[in-house]
Structure 1
Amino acid sequence: MEINDIPQDNSKIFRGQRKVVYATQDGNYQTATSNGWETEEFATEQAVEELNQLTNEALDAVKRGEKSPLFYYMYRYRFDLPSLAQATGFWQWQIKRHFKPSVFEKLSDNVLAKYAEAFGVSTSTLKTI
């Protein structure tokens, strides 16, 4: 894309900020800035809406006693299973197991501390909704 063709749609998701993008000028790549692109804004809003829906569904599952608070916090802080595994160092199968309320209740303080650090909350917060 040429520098002059970079969209400048003043996207509300950027909140007045600008984003660095690569574009060409005279056949050479250079950095330039954009204040948003309508298509990108639409895609971002769709993704956020889906994450909000997953968060609400997770909260309902926790309230029904089907899942541990960890399941809710995973979505609340915009993680998915692979990214949470990467952030904590746990295997995905371990995290899935920790979603079970009976297993979650028995987790050690060290394990809870790893999750709390990934979410940026205290371990006491992690234990409740």
Structure 2
Amino acid sequence: MDINEIPQDDSKIFRGQKKVIYATQNGHYKPGTTTGWDTEAFVTEQAVEEFNQLTNEALDAVKRGEKSPLFYYMYRYRFDLPTLAQTTGLWQWQIKRHFKPSVFAKLSNKVLGRYAEVFGVSMEKIKHV
């Protein structure tokens, strides 16, 4: 995209801020700014709504005792299983096991600390919803 064609749709998700993107000018990539564009805003709003729905469903599952608080926090802080595994350095199958309340209750402080650090919450908070 040419630097002069960068959309400037004043997206509400940017809240008056600008975003730097790279576009071409005279055949070379240069940084340019945008106030957003409608397509990006639409997709972002859909993604946020999906995470909100997943968070609510996860909270219900935790309250019913089907899942551990980790399952809720994963969605609350906008992670999915692959991203959480990559960020914590744990295998996906390990995290899936940690979703089980009985397994989660036996986790060491070291493992709980990894999750707490990733989510930016205390270890005490990670134990409860």
Output the amino acid matched with 2:7.
Answer: P
| Length, aligned pairs only | 129
Match of 1:79 in 2: 79
Name the CA distance, whole Å, in 2 between partners of 1:58 and 1:37: 32
User: What displacement does 1:25 show?
Assistant: 1.8
1:87: Cα distance to partner? Answer: 1.2
Normalising by structure 2, report the TM-score.
0.97
| Corresponding residue number in structure 1 for 2:103 | 103
- Unmatched 5+ stretches in structure 2: none
Q: RMSD of the TM alignment (CA)?
A: 0.8
| Percent pairwise identity | 76
Aligned residue for 1:31, secondary structure, equals strand
Structure 1 residues without counterparts, runs of 5 or longer:
none
Normalised to the residue count of structure 1, the TM-score between the two structures is 0.97
- Summarize deviations over 1:67-116 as a string: whole Å, max 9, x none: 00000000000111111111111110000000000000111111111110
Large movers: runs of 4+ above 2 Å: none
- Look up the match of 1:3: 3
